[in-house]
Every structure is written in structure tokens, then in C-alpha cells.
Amino acid sequence: MRHLGPRRCLTKLSPLTDVTHLFYVAWASRESEIENIAANTAMLRNVLDAVVPSAPNLQHVCLLTGRKHYIGSFDSLGKSKRHDPPFHEDLPRLPAPNFYYAQEDILFDSLGSRDGAVTWSVHRPTIIFGVAPTSLMNIIGTLCVYATICKHEGEPLRWPRSRIGWEGLSDASDADLIAEQHIWAAVDPNAKNEAFNCSNGDVFKWKHLWTTLAEQFELEAVGYIGEVERFKLELDDNFNSASGKYPSVGLVIGATGIVGISLVEILPLPDTPGGPWKVYAVSRRPRSSLLPPPSDGIAVETVLCDISDPADALTKLSPLTDVTHLFYVAWASRESEIENIAANTAMLRNVLDAVVPSAPNLQHVCLLTGRKHYMGSFYSFGKVKLHDPPFHEDLPRLPAPNFYYAQEDILFDSLRSRNGAVTWSVHRPTVIFGFAPTSLMNIVGTLCVYATICKREGEPLRWPGSRIGWESFSDASDADLIAEQQIWAAVDPNAKNEAFNCSNGDVFKWKHLWTTLAEQFELEAVGYIGEAERFKLEVAMKGKEELWEKIVQENNLAPTKLEQVGNWWLADIMVNNEENLDTMNKSKEHGFLGFRNTRSSFISWIDKMKGYKILSEKIIGQKILSLSHKLSLFLFLLSLLSSLLAFLS
């Protein structure tokens, strides 16, 4: 699982109360060791703060560091005197900043709260032989890519570096061996509260292993032949020759939408796969003042662009030549599906025409569509026969106009010009739980606004929809989960040129989530009680604009208009939906194992909206008595008067 900021980390890890052993093997790379210390200690602290207090059966924590414990960080190589090898675990720390030292201190401090009940071990491998598709430390993969390029170019496998590197003795650490040592330390009582080196137990010379590498690719091996012939495999001294300090540069189209906001928040995090990331956040309007500004130092650049205008798209987007990954999560709503097709294909085509020819390092394009791929557009509901759920990605297109189909065709056609060098993925969520202040698809916000108005009017939270909507199974897609799946697809080779459903991985009934919603606003929940009691929120909320303004003023909320925060036609569709579920099997089979607890997701987005003052914890202001409440009060007073008269007589 990807490590996250403290709030998300707490939300996702603290419920795992049955954890007995924690294996921390994550790290993040930054431009300096001071930045490395800040990023890596924050990540570890977030995990420990979430797990240690909440897992009563936690027994042991394994922390992976490495040989730089003895030789110093990359920053300090050649600047301070290192220990004389062979290195043993009791050597003192070097007098230079080192995130390994800082991580150990965080670990020891955190476990102090458990008074020795939780033990620890620190594991210090050397260069690791293993496989991870996008790991910065995949030395075997890197050398094999070099050998492959030599093979393709008809060149021998030339040793690039020094005589000492060629002739000197080296050792390595097999990734499986490191895992085995971790597991041993976690369960063996003799291994508690100790640091351990971890290498294979033998030594080698690169002059011998170089021959082995050449044999695997049927190449001639050329060893060290003098200082004049030395060269760097890296073309220049930048972290990445294509993108400077950022190996990945994400272009998020629709950055102020419900998924775009999550992408812009998650991509720059220190441990996001493929990172560190630079992000271009593209939207027609500036980021909402209802959202907090990005943190200082976060590599996010805002680009205001009307992508429906081809000239504006070309002018604003074609100069972004360092883009490596394009995340297209924008859409436009029109009065008919034919108009939807025209508008949405034009927007996507304008972006692709601007970016694909001008970004030589572009690797992947993610396209967000949705479940209407299987159910048809809003305008075809009830007019075409739907697929039988659960929906899987290989189902054929429905025989009706659908802008999702048209967008896919535009994408495939555009990328043909790159002859397979740029891959794609299509992501199909269902109803999205997330937060975008003025998004048309913010169903959680819409329902919360309805609950707030019920609270202010002294009404219970009445279910407006059908019996099927109330009783049937539904599923949802957390906005952060969609962003995580897109990032996975962008960087994982197993996810290329595929379409993926994206739902939380569980199911729910609105009858249960309705109670949860009522609890968040201290309301009585009234469920489905018959067809005669059904109503449309779009009708019921007409004329509530002034009331919402009063609620905003009385509770010191962020200034919003009712039409900005309540999308009633969408809510009416959601509460009358039939049972339409998808399957996440394909996504899991390809390697994406992300999930969300839908109830927890629902609550977390409500909490976020309260935190941003879109909603209020407590609704202040005079409650308006409804007709039913007035009638109840009248009958109560009439009964009281009758009793009083009977007593007096």
C-alpha cells in the first residue's frame, strides 16, 4: 500500500487493528539529504502514529535501512571519513545528516509508548538484487536495459566506470533473502531490539559478473581498459535526463473536478509511485477559494486553459514539453448525448493535438469515463437493453450514442501516431464519493446539503427515492482510489493499453448509508415507506436558495450558492437506481489491489467538507417548524387543554 499524508494514513491504517507485525520497507528520494530526512521521517511517523496506538496485538516492527548507515548518504560521499570495512552493526553513526539515523530515532521514540511490549529490528542490506518495475534501486533491471540497448545498437557491453569498481571485491543482498531475514527477526525471540546487516554471505567482482551479464544477452563483454574510456551511463548530472529533478511530469486536465483534485493532491506526495512528480494542474477556472492552497514546496503549477478552444489549448499546452503522463479527467454536460459527444470529443482532441506531438517523453495517457459505458447515457436510460450486471470490461458497447465510446476512439486514433510508444488506460468508476466544491457530480455534498436543510427546518431525513434504490445493493468509487488506480496504471507495465473498472471493492445498501448520513447531522432517518411518499429532491429543494444563504451566514460557512453545492437531478437518479454492480477482478489480476470501506469513505468526505467550512458541525439558527411539526404541536396543545379542562371540571 502506498504511504500517504497523516490524515489519509490514519484513515486507512488505524482500522487494521489485527496487525501483529509491521514491515516498513518504503523510502522516498529527494534532492538533498535534508529533504530526504524530512520526507522519510514524515512517512514513517505517519505509519507509526496510525498503527502503534490502534493495534493492541502489535508485537514487532521491522525497519529497512541500508549500508549508507556506515558509508554516509549520497550527499556526503567523499566529504566525510567513512568507517573502515568490513562494517559491523555496532559502529557509531557518522557525523553527517542521514535519514537512516533519523528513521531509527523516530522508531525508538514511537515504540517507547508501548513500554517494551513491541520490539524492533533494523535491517541494513547493501546493493539489492531483485525486481520492482519502477524502483529507483533496481540495479539489475538498469544493467539489463543497458545491455538490451547495446544489443539493439550492435555494440559490445562496455564497462563504464573505474578500475577499482572493476577489480574490487563487492557483495550484494538478494531481495528474497532480505525478506526472509525480516520474517526471522519478527518471530524469533533472539532477534529482538537489534540491528542486522544483510548480505548474501559471499563476495564477487564486477569483472566476473559483467561477463555473466554479457552472456545473458549474447554480447561481447568489454571490461576496464583505461581512464580515458570511462563514461557515465547517465547523459548528464540531472536526476533524470528527460525531466530534470522530476522523473515524472503529470498533466492533469480537469484539475478542479472531483477526481482532478485528488490527483493534484496525491501525485506530489513523497511516496507516490513513479515520483517525485511535477504536476501541471489544468482547469478553465482558478482553483476554488473554498479549497486550501497547495503546501509550500509542492511542485504544482496551475495552467488556466479553456480546452474547448483549440487555439487556447495549443497555446497553453504545447509548450509543456516535459510532460510524461497525461491524466484526462474533464467532462462537459450538454442538453443531449449528441451534443455531449460533440463537446467532449472536441475537448479531448484539442488536448491530445496539443500534447501528443509536442511532448517527446510522453509515456502514458489515462482517460476517465465511467459506468455509463455499460448502462448507456442519461438520455438513453430505458431506451436500450442494458448489460446484465456485474459489469466487466470486455462487454460490448451498447447500440446507442455515448460520448465515452467516442472519447475512446479519439484517444486510440491520436496515439497511433506514436507507434505504440505512448500507452493508454481507461478508467470506469461508478458514483464517485469525493469533494469538489462546485462539481456537478458531488453526490456526497448534495446529500449533505439536503441533510443540512432538513436540520435547519426541523425535519427528519426522509428518503426521497424508490424501494429498489433503498433495498438493493449499490457500490461506489472513492475519488482518491480512482486517482490511485490511474497513477498505478500510468507507471505499472502490467496496466498498459487496458480498460479498468474502479469501485471500492465492497457493496452497500442506501438504507444503511442513509442512517449514517442522518447520524452525521443528528437527524432522525426516515426510510422508504411507500410509493405515495416518494418525491423528487429537484422539486423539494426549489425555493430554498434564501434559506441556504441564511444557513451559510448563521454558521459562518464558506460563501456558496445552493446551485453550486446541490445537484438535485443527480441525487434523484442515485436514489432511484436499480442494482448495477461491477467486478474489480481484472484490476486485481493486473496488480491493483486498492480498496475502500465505503461507509468510512462516505464519512471521511463529509468530515472533509466540514473541515473546509462547506458544511457545519452544528446547525445554528432558528429552526423553521414544518407543517407536520406545527400540526403535531397543535394536537399536543389541544390535548393538554382538554386535560386541563377535564381536571378543572
483 within a domain of the structure (yes/no): no
Higher pLDDT, 406 or 6: 406
* Beta bridge partners of residue 58, listed in sequence order: none
| Per-residue DSSP letter, 284 | S
Higher pLDDT, 479 or 439: 479
What's the structural domain count of the chain? 3
Higher pLDDT, 432 or 384: 432
Catalytic positions, please?
372, 404
pLDDT score of 24: 97
179 within a domain of the structure (yes/no): yes
Domain enclosing residue 525, as ranges:
434-474+508-577+585-649
Alpha-carbon distances, residue 423 vs 365, 515, 604 (angstroms)? 6, 44, 34
pLDDT score of 234: 66
Domain with residue 590: its CATH number is 3.40.50.720
Q: What is the pLDDT of residues 324-351, one digit of tens each?
A: 999 999 999 999 999 999 999 999 999 9
| Predicted confidence band of residue 233 (pLDDT cuts 50, 70, 90) | confident
Say if residue 628's pLDDT is above 70.
no
Burial readout 621-639 (b: 16 or more C-beta within 10 A, e: otherwise): eeeeeeeeeeeeeeeeeee
Q: What is the pLDDT of residues 287-300, one digit of tens each?
A: 776 666 665 556 78
- Please report, as a single letter, which amino acid is at residue 187: V
Domain boundary among 229, 264, 287: 229
Least confident interval from 264-268, 294-298, 377-381:
294-298
268 within a domain of the structure (yes/no): yes
363-378: average pLDDT: 94
- Exposed, middle or buried, 477 (CB in 10 Å: 0-12/13-18/19+)? buried
pLDDT score of 319: 95
My answer on whether 341 and 212 are in the same domain is no
Are 253 and 303 within 8 A, CB to CB?
no
Output the DSSP codes for 47-84: HHHHHTTT-TT--EEEEE--THHHH--GGGTTTSPPPP
- The length of the chain in residues reads 649
Entry pTM? 0.64
Count Cβ atoms below 10 Å from residue 591 Cβ, excluding itself. Answer: 13
My answer on whether 415 and 447 are in the same domain is no
My answer on whether 97 and 213 are in the same domain is yes
My answer on whether 419 and 441 are in the same domain is no
Domain boundary among 229, 258, 285: 229
My answer on whether 266 and 343 are in the same domain is yes
Are 33 and 76 within 8 A, CB to CB?
yes
Query: What is the spatial distance between Cα 69 and Cα 575, in angstroms, rounded to a whole number?
Result: 58
492 within a domain of the structure (yes/no): no
Identify each DSSP E strand in 242-317 by its residue range: 248-253, 277-283, 300-304
My answer on whether 175 and 144 are in the same domain is yes
My answer on whether 356 and 219 are in the same domain is no
My answer on whether 364 and 259 are in the same domain is yes
Q: What would you measure as the largest C-alpha separation in the chain, in angstroms?
A: 121
238 within a domain of the structure (yes/no): no
Output the DSSP codes for 307-320: TTSHHHHHHHHTT-
Given the DSSP bridges, would you call strands 477-478 and 169-170 parallel, antiparallel or unpaired?
Answer: unpaired
What are the grid coordinates assigned to 557, written together? 460557512
My answer on whether 118 and 213 are in the same domain is yes
Domain boundary among 399, 429, 459: 429
489 within a domain of the structure (yes/no): no
| Predicted confidence band of residue 384 (pLDDT cuts 50, 70, 90) | confident
Say if residue 626's pLDDT is above 80.
no
pLDDT score of 649: 65
My answer on whether 213 and 256 are in the same domain is no
My answer on whether 62 and 187 are in the same domain is yes
pLDDT score of 236: 34
Count Cβ atoms below 10 Å from residue 361 Cβ, excluding itself. Answer: 18
What are the grid coordinates assigned to 200, written together? 548474501
My answer on whether 543 and 646 are in the same domain is yes
Say if residue 183's pLDDT is above 70.
yes
Query: What is the spatial distance between Cα 354 and Cα 235, in angstroms, rounded to a whole number?
Result: 28
Say if residue 643's pLDDT is above 90.
no
Q: What is the pLDDT of residues 76-109, one digit of tens each?
A: 776 677 788 889 999 999 999 999 999 999 999 9
Q: How far is the first Cα of the chain from the last one, in angstroms, to the nearest whole number?
A: 77
Query: What is the spatial distance between Cα 433 and Cα 504, in angstroms, rounded to a whole number?
Result: 10
Say if residue 1's pLDDT is above 50.
no
Are 538 and 472 within 8 A, CB to CB?
no
554-570: average pLDDT: 90
Say if residue 545's pLDDT is above 60.
yes
Least confident interval from 5-9, 397-401, 513-517:
5-9
pLDDT score of 616: 85
Q: What is the pLDDT of residues 150-159, one digit of tens each?
A: 999 899 999 9
313 within a domain of the structure (yes/no): yes
| Predicted confidence band of residue 242 (pLDDT cuts 50, 70, 90) | very low
Q: What is the pLDDT of residues 596-605, one digit of tens each?
A: 999 999 999 9
234 within a domain of the structure (yes/no): no
Average pLDDT taken over every residue of the chain: 89
